[in-house]
Amino acid sequence: MPFDMSDVVLDSEFCEPVVIYRQSGTFLRGQFVLGAVVQIPCLATVIADNVKDLDQAAVADRVKGIIEFYFTREIFLTGDVGAAQQTSDTVLWKGKFYKLFQSYEWGEYGFWHCGAYRIEGV
């Protein structure tokens, strides 16, 4: 039986309010059409990223700020989700937007660990 870490991730000494921006879309006559953006307010633990994760980011993204988020809700990267096509979630934290590029699903332990790089907007 896995140990549920969600209480640690949501501990008031560690977590901060963030907003997840989620957007999906579909292909229509050969063109990808984005759907509406859904805003999901939640809490997350935010920490500085380390060199190992920085090495896995695309070269063009390395000059931007890279941080890590720990969430207690499911997080999506670009790919298929059911019948819709899903783009990577974007997170608003302290007035700046971060695009998720890496996710470690630890759902059985009650959390998702994600790497993100700073972008200009949604």
Residue-wise over 49-71: b if at least 16 C-beta within 10 A, else e?
Answer: beeeeeeebeeebeeeebbbbbb
Per-residue confidence in pLDDT tens, the chain, 122 aa: 566 666 666 777 778 999 999 888 777 888 878 888 899 999 998 988 765 555 555 555 455 678 899 888 888 888 756 555 678 899 999 999 999 888 887 777 778 888 888 888 76
Which residue segment(s) compose the domain that 65 sits in? 6-119
**pLDDT on residue 119:** 87
The domain tally of the chain equals 1
CATH code of the domain covering residue 87? 2.40.10.270
Is 1 inside any structural domain? no
CA distance 58 to 62: 7
Contact 113, 106 (CB under 8 A): yes
pTM of the model: 0.76
H helix or E strand, kind and range, residue 19: strand 15-28
**pLDDT on residue 98:** 92
Is 44 inside any structural domain? yes
Is 53 inside any structural domain? yes
Is 108 inside any structural domain? yes
Q: Give me the residues paired with residue 84 across strands.
A: 81
H helix or E strand, kind and range, residue 6: helix 6-9
